[in-house]
C-alpha cells in the first residue's frame, strides 16, 4: 500500500495524474543515463519529447549534463521517487 509521507509525494502524484506523458518519460529513463538524441529516439517523439524533457528538468525530475556536444539526461532523487511511486500505484 502506498502512503503519502510528505507534501512533495502528494505533488509527485499530482504530476503523475495531470501529465501522464511525463511518467512515460521517467519510465523510459529508468536508472540509466541517455543522451537526448538516444532518449528521444527511444520515445519516438522528437519535438514533443524534447519539450517534455525540458519540463521534467524544470520540475527537478531530470538532471541534464552537457559533455562536449551532447546532453546526457538522468533521473534526480525526485525523479527516482516518482518512478517508485508510479510502480507502487500501477501507473
Q: Where residue 29 sits, what CATH number does that domain have?
A: 1.10.10.10
- For residue 36, the enclosing domain spans 7-89
Domain tally, the chain: 1
Per-residue pLDDT of the chain (91 residues; tens, 9 = 90+): 455 556 777 888 888 888 888 999 999 999 999 999 999 999 888 889 999 999 999 999 999 999 999 999 999 999 999 899 888 887 7
Helices 20-29 and 47-58 sit at what angle, rounded to 10 degrees?
90
Which contacts qualify for 62-65: CB closer than 8 Å, 24 or more apart? 62/25, 62/26, 62/29, 64/36
Whether 2 is in a domain gets the answer no
Kindly report the pTM of this predicted structure: 0.82
Q: Is 12 helix (H, G, I), strand (E, B) or coil?
A: helix
Amino acid at each position: 500500500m502506498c502512503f503519502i509521507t510528505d507534501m512533495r509525494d502528494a505533488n509527485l502524484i499530482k504530476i503523475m495524474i495531470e501529465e501522464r506523458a511525463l511518467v512515460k518519460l521517467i519510465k523510459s529513463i529508468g536508472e540509466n543515463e541517455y543522451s537526448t538524441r538516444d532518449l528521444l529516439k527511444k520515445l519516438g517523439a522528437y519535438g514533443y519529447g524534447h519539450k517534455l524533457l525540458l519540463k521534467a528538468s524544470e520540475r527537478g525530475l531530470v538532471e541534464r549534463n552537457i559533455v562536449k556536444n551532447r546532453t546526457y539526461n538522468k533521473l534526480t532523487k525526485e525523479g527516482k521517487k516518482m518512478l517508485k511511486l508510479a510502480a507502487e500505484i500501477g501507473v
